[in-house]
Amino acid sequence: MEMLLGFLVLLACLLVGVRHGGIGLAVISGIGLVIFTFVFQYKPGTPPIDVMLTILAVVTCAGFLQTSGGLTVMLKYAEAFFAQQSKAGHDPRAAHDVVFDRPLRHGPRRLHDVPDHL
């Protein structure tokens, strides 16, 4: 019964938080954590430090790229690459073609029944 009640509290916090969006989701999640800690007497686990540091590194890198103009340079090279691909007859929007479809058609298994338009 306690597990079902805990699941309902979790679901209610998520639904209310999503309706508020942004910082509201964080505040409602904090309220849910307080309920789980003090009402249900659950002990919080250790925070995932590796994941938080990875997110911090990616956000910091994106901020540096945008501030220094590196994002514009990367977009310029990406536009040139996709323009070159479209001249060669490839659809630049179908990036999965290079990773998934070509190895299946031309790889060791040679699935000839896969149509070319995929």
- Looking at the structure, do residues 41 and 4 belong to the same domain, yes or no? yes
What residue numbers bound the domain in which 80 lies?
48-87
Tokens of 79: 């536009």
Beta strands in 44-99 (DSSP E): none
Same domain (yes/no): 70, 98: no
- In this prediction, what percent of the chain has a pLDDT beyond 90? 25
| Total structural domains within the chain | 3
Q: Which residues contact 104 (CB under 8 A, 6 or more apart)?
A: 111, 114
92 in the same domain as 79? no
pTM of the model: 0.43
3-class secondary structure, 15: helix
Let me know whether 82 and 66 are in one domain: yes
Same domain, 81 and 94: no
- Taking only the tens place, the pLDDT of each residue in 65-81 is 888 988 888 889 988 88
Region 19-25 average pLDDT: 84
Please check whether residue 46 is in contact with residue 23, taking contact to mean a CB–CB distance below 8 angstroms: no
- Residue at which a domain ends, from 11, 28, 45: 45
